């Protein structure tokens, strides 16, 4: 005899009815807002910039050196009828960030959303990890997040919809062999996020962190196939995420629907680190 199929109980339609205080989000829920996205030229940052643009926000993209990709991201974002501008800047450089933030603030009338996404990897087991590779990763991910937040915070505090969204990693939650520098930097981003969330909450600004799992981008495309298979096997949903999966979470956290969420770590990882 065939085994009966496992059934998932269906919710009654009454249960699905929206509560009277729930306002469905409009398609362009970020109309009139302006976002700064670091590392917006490629991968996750590019998808975030496009997601925010699609939701109606102007976007200022910071990038390290890939001018062609940054300009094409801006052109794609501007097709949503918003203003998009790219700025070359090493987020690890405190003074360079100060200069570029002053330029962004001069170019856009207000800034409401900051997404600290720029990051690099220099993987190596600790016995072989060089000081230069440790510093490079911490300087871009952790110090870069501090630098941009520090210089933009006064402007964000003036926004009635201030949002800071930092991109960490599940490595910062669980640790990963071969990524002591990266995991340390990302764990630092989580601590920084919670501290900033407490400091700015009184001004109505939220500060949250997204911890992506294994996402298909330039950063992970170079991994050897055996490592990729091992990563995929560790994901309950069974496959790598896309940059858009992270962008959707960012748009939600940037929206009014997330106004009561702050200091939160949102894993977007297919269940990898639960």
Spatial contact of 48 and 40, defined as CB atoms under 8 Å apart: yes
Mark out the alpha helices in 58-93 (DSSP H runs): 67-78
Instruction: Tell me if 44 contacts ligand NDP by CB under 6 A.
Output: yes
Q: Which CB atom, from 69 or from 163, has the smaller least distance to ligand NDP?
A: 69
Q: Distance (Å, rounded) from C-alpha 82 to C-alpha 187?
A: 34
| Number of amino acids touching ligand NDP (CB under 6 A) | 31
CA dihedral sign, ordered 19, 22, 26, 27: negative
204 conformational bin, left if phi > 0, alpha if psi -120 to 50, beta if neither: left
Instruction: Tell me if 129 contacts ligand NDP by CB under 6 A.
Output: no
Instruction: Tell me if 24 contacts ligand NDP by CB under 6 A.
Output: no
Given the structure tokens 């200069």, which residue do they identify? 99
Nearest approach, Cβ of 86 to ligand NDP (angstroms)? 9
DSSP helix/strand/coil, 38: strand
Annotated active-site positions, please? 182
Instruction: Tell me if 218 contacts ligand NDP by CB under 6 A.
Output: yes
DSSP helix/strand/coil, 102: helix
**DSSP state at residue 107:** H
Considering only 30, 35, 36, 38, the residue that binds ligand NDP (CB under 6 A) is: 38
Nearest by Cα to 217 from 236, 241, 193, 189: 241
Instruction: Tell me if 212 contacts ligand NDP by CB under 6 A.
Output: yes
Instruction: Tell me if 42 contacts ligand NDP by CB under 6 A.
Output: yes
Q: Which CB atom, from 102 or from 201, has the smaller least distance to ligand NDP?
A: 102
Nearest approach, Cβ of 98 to ligand NDP (angstroms)? 14
Nearest approach, Cβ of 152 to ligand NDP (angstroms)? 14
Residues 61-120 that bind ligand NDP (CB under 6 A): 62-66, 69, 90-92, 117-120
Nearest by Cα to 137 from 96, 178, 88: 178
Instruction: Tell me if 214 contacts ligand NDP by CB under 6 A.
Output: yes
Chain residues in the site for ligand NDP (CB under 6 A): 38-39, 41-45, 62-66, 69, 90-92, 117-120, 140-141, 167, 169, 212, 214-215, 217-220
């Amino acid at each position: 005899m065939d085994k009966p199929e496992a059934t998932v109980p269906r919710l009654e339609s009454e249960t699905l009815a929206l509560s009277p205080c729930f306002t469905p989000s409009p398609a362009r829920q970020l109309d009139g807002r302006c976002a700064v996205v670091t590392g917006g030229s490629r991968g996750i940052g590019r998808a975030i910039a496009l997601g925010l643009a699609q939701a109606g926000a102007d976007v200022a993209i910071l990038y390290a050196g890939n001018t062609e990709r940054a300009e094409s991201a801006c052109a794609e974002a501007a097709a949503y009828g918003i203003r998009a501008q790219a700025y070359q800047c090493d987020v690890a450089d405190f003074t360079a960030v100060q200069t570029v933030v002053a330029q962004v603030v001069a170019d856009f009338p207000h800034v409401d959303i900051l997404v600290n996404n720029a990051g690099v990897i220099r993987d190596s087991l600790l016995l072989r990890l060089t000081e230069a590779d440790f510093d490079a990763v911490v300087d871009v991910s952790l110090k870069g997040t501090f630098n941009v937040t520090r210089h933009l915070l006064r402007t964000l505090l003036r926004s009635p919809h201030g949002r800071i969204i930092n991109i960490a990693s599940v490595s910062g939650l669980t640790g990963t062999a071969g990524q002591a520098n990266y995991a340390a930097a990302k764990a630092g981003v989580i601590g920084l996020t919670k501290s900033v969330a407490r400091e700015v909450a009184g001004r109505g600004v939220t500060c949250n962190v997204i911890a992506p799992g294994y996402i298909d981008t330039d950063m992970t495309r170079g991994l050897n196939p055996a490592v990729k298979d091992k990563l995929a096997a560790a994901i309950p949903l069974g496959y790598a995420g896309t940059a858009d999966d992270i962008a959707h979470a960012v748009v939600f956290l940037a929206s009014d629907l997330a106004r009561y969420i702050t200091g939160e770590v949102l894993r977007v990882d297919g269940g990898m680190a639960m």
